[in-house]
A and B are shown apart, each in its own frame.
Chain A
Amino acid sequence: MENIKVVWFQSGTCTGCTISVLNSSSLKIKNLLLDEIVPGKAVSLVFQSTIMAESGEKVIEVLKEENLKKDFFLVVEGVIPTKDGGIYGKIGEKTFLEILYDLMENCKGIICIGSCSCFGGIPASLPNPTGCKPVKEIMEERKIEKLLINIPGCPPHPDWFLGTITKIIIGAEIKLDELNRPLDFYSRLIHENCPRRPYFDKGAFAKSFSEEGCLYLVGCKGPFTYADCPIREWNGGTNWCIKNNSPCFGCTEPEFIDKNSPLFKRKEIEKIGEQK
């Protein structure tokens, strides 16, 4: 029996990524928390502050190196405030930044869940009030070189995270794009598989939400956004943004939100993203 230890560290987050993973409907959350993922292999989620039973010092204990013994994967949810020495986020008298330095140094690999830890997300958008940085930037500053997988999305689809975890557990190769995103989930543009693509090709554009058509003119960022939402759909296949007649906001891209804002206005196409 192999228990793969995971520390899920929440820094500057809205907890949306945690809630999204709780929503998983293929491999369910009970499988992640209690079950084996594949025969003989289970995830041991030693630290996840939205779920864990203990509080206070006893959970800070868990994070100490003598207990983790360099044998764990680190999941980071949320952005890292760095302005003024990182005082804008603290747990147990330590800043997020200090805690993260130790965890990054000692872990076997890092999985960033959500656009905040991957690219900065909304808290790092202009004027970036607390000097937020994504994990990759902090790794580069600290010259830490190790496995980094980015699972962006605001929030990410639970399958993107649990699918990646499953691949790690079964030891399968995870191919990443230049933004460290697994190609399994982020290799196609929303635009490529969009059910409204025929409207785009015909030039039938909706100019308001009361009209039927391609949503490009009301702000859809599908032509610039890599993710498999059109095929996977959200909340157990219930719906997803464009199926709900809402533009894609491009939440899996580093452009979210500064370069994608105004969210409900057309983004000029210079060159639609190329297929990878």
Chain B
Amino acid sequence: MRKKIIIDPVTRIEGHLKIEVEIEDKKVVDAKCSGMLYRGIENILIDRDPTDAVQITQRVCGVCPIAHATASTYAVEDALGIKEKIPQNAYLVRNLIHASNHIHNSILHFYHLCLLDFIDLTKVKRGVSSEIDLVCKFFERDNYYPFSSKNNDLRLPEDVNLRCLHNYIKGLEIRRYSHQLLSIFGGKMPHQCGIIPGGVTQKVDIGKIENAIGKLKDIKEFVELYYFRDLKDIINYYNDYFDIGASYGNYLAYGTFYLKKDGIIEKFQPGGVVFNMESFEEFNLSEITEHIENSWYEGEIENPGKDFPKVDINKNAYSWIKSPRYKGKPFEVGPVARLFVAYKMGVESWKSQIDKIITDLKIDIKKLNSVLGRHIARFIEAKVLIEESLNWILKIKEDEEFFVDYEIPSECKGVGLSEGARGAVGHWIEIKNKKISHYQIISPTTWNASPKDKNENYGPIEKALIGTTIKDEENPIEILRIVRSFDPCLACAVQIIERKKLNKKEFLIWA
């Protein structure tokens, strides 16, 4: 007999997500992933100055604003044709800002968004550490929320459980350091003000460099020692999660962390496409299509940009999220996608680190296509980016430029591709009379949390849920662990522009 389980809201993610699964003989046979908030930020950009976009689009997401700040800035600079003129210092500072946002997200995601699915907060005793004592006192005060949980699949032995819990609290502080690191260069966080078209606002002096190195060292110590040990323990006791939560194995990354080398702009983290965990292909923007069969919009989209859907609240659909597809297929984006692309391309700085960690963990790279794999990938990224940030800092040349002036032409268009912690982010801008005449964003969670497309292909999260065995239907923790492993960001996922604002003949996405 089929049984339906609805989880709404899914907590410990960014934004408003509803998950609906159908279960038969304890196995998930159908899944629906629904984005439950629509804001329409892109509409707000129309008729504004192109330089406003970097600030407005950051407000798409307060967890990963840098993904939008960089994508927006690159889109404007692409439109203006000034990418090559941007000083190397500016690229370095942007990368530092961007990397610290990713490092922050890895810690936040593992410890604060996911760890409570694996540790038992109630099994505490006094005298272990001041952090654990805080938890003891919390329960002694007859408190339960926000930490009460009916999760009964908790497997850690006492000492490991206590250590992970200690680091949950310690991690709150380390996560804060990574935002402090960011604000050294970005002014404040969330919603930094350092990255702007033309470069960065502030020059970097030795005081900033010294401060940043200090912060990086604190973060590095925690990540390499504690984060890795805690992750290994979770892997150890929840080993079956290497076989739970696999999606299609189709991976897409735009790549990011731009740098100039001999006048040409390169990416530290490469972009590309991997099919079924095997074949690598160069990425081609014109292969992206969007479907809205199961989204609350009217009409049909053949190619994104040619048609713009209008909200249709009476449609028999289940999400505000659209379904972007590459060559008609669903693709997972995010840390696993980025690592797979770099690995398949054989980029040494990434491949050597990936090999080191997967050898240490005694797993095949294909095991990254799982709940645990997504956690491992985030750790690897944090580790590599901490090390590379130290290199970037030392490349800054204090007495060279950080910003170049420019003129905004009356008509132009551009595209900016970047990566959020959660995956590929693309911004498309069109400028007329020096104002934004069009803007479109495709965010990472739009790929991952998309509903079924017109060919009945499930979205990547839905696909990862289907086939999963649910041990206890009253407590479907497997579903939550799978969904959270994608680190969904719902505020990002739903951005759309209404048709009435646009001239239908114009197209938006171009290669």
Contact = CB atoms under 8 A, between A and B. Distances in A.
B193 A51 contact: no
A17 B158 CA distance: 35
A2 B330 CA distance: 52
B112 A234 contact: no
Which interface class (under 10, 10 to 19, 20 to 34, 35 or more) fits B? 35 or more
Contacts of B201: 209, 244-246
Contact of A209 (B37, B150, B180, B198): B198
Contacts of A240: 187-188
A19 B71 CA distance: 21
Contacts of B37: 12, 88-90
A131 to B, nearest CB: 10
A57 B313 CA distance: 24
A93 B491 contact: no
B28 to A, nearest CB: 15
A244 B193 contact: yes
Contact of B112 (A14, A51, A130, A246): A51
A84 interface: yes
Contacts of A243: 187
Given A87-B313, A89-B16, A239 B184 contact: yes
Interface in A119-141: 121-123, 125-127, 129-130, 132
Given A34-B138, A46-B145, A244-B187, A23 B169 contact: no
A240 B180 CA distance: 11
Interface stretch (A101-109, A187-195, A196-204, A259-267): A259-267
B62 to A, nearest CB: 2
Interface string A239-255: 11101111101010000
B137 A50 contact: no
Contact of A55 (B7, B184, B404): B7
A20 B502 CA distance: 36
B186 A244 contact: yes
Contacts of B191: 16, 154-155, 251
A129 B12 contact: no
A212 to B, nearest CB: 10
B147 A52 contact: yes
A88 B39 contact: yes
A54 interface: yes
B38 A52 contact: no
Contact of B180 (A10, A44, A236): A236
A60 B499 CA distance: 36
B135 interface: yes
Nearest to B480: A55
Contact of A129 (B43, B190, B196): B43
B51 interface: yes
B174 to A, nearest CB: 12
Contacts of A90: 16, 18, 36-37
Nearest to A234: B188
Contact residues of B: prevailing secondary structure: loop
Interface string A69-85: 00000000000010010
Counting chain B CB atoms within 10 Å of each CB, the highest count among A23, A36, A56, A238 belongs to A238
Contacts of B295: none
Nearest to A42: B141
B41 A234 contact: no
Given A15-B491, A123-B41, A244-B202, A25 B176 contact: yes
B49 interface: yes
A175 interface: no
Contacts of B199: 209
B83 interface: no
Interface stretch (B53-61, B421-429, B451-459): B53-61
Nearest to A59: B11
B15 interface: yes
Nearest to B10: A55
Contact of A54 (B11, B176, B189): B11
A22 B131 CA distance: 16
Contacts of A12: 37, 39
Contact of B403 (A15, A18, A209, A262): A209
A166 interface: no
Contacts of B189: 23, 234-235
Nearest to B116: A53
Interface string B168-195: 0100110110011011111111110110
Nearest to A246: B193
B87 to A, nearest CB: 10
A121 B491 CA distance: 15
A239 B188 contact: yes
Interface in B379-406: 401-405
Nearest to A207: B405
Contacts of A236: 176, 180
A10 B63 CA distance: 14
Contacts of B173: 28, 30
Given A49-B11, A51-B12, A89 B62 contact: no
A89 B193 contact: no
Interface in A32-67: 33-36, 42, 44-60, 62
Interface of B: 6-16, 18, 36-41, 43-44, 46, 48-49, 51-52, 55-56, 59-63, 65, 112-113, 116, 121, 131, 134-135, 137-138, 141-143, 145-151, 169, 172-173, 175-176, 179-180, 182-191, 193-194, 196, 198-199, 201-203, 211, 311, 313, 320, 401-405, 480, 491, 498, 501
21 contacts: A14-B60, A16-B65, A22-B112, A23-B189, A30-B173, A35-B137, A36-B137, A50-B13, A53-B121, A54-B149, A123-B39, A127-B501, A155-B191, A209-B201, A210-B403, A210-B404, A238-B180, A240-B187, A245-B202, A251-B191, A265-B49
Given A16-B191, A50-B13, 12 more contacts: A14-B65, A16-B190, A34-B169, A35-B134, A50-B12, A52-B145, A88-B38, A89-B36, A89-B37, A125-B44, A130-B38, A235-B189
The 6 closest A-B pairs by CB, nearest first: A16-B62, A244-B187, A129-B40, A52-B146, A246-B193, A234-B188
Interface of A: 1, 3, 10, 12-20, 22-25, 28-30, 33-36, 42, 44-60, 62, 81, 84, 87-93, 121-123, 125-127, 129-130, 132, 154-155, 208-210, 234-236, 238-241, 243-247, 249, 251, 257, 261-265
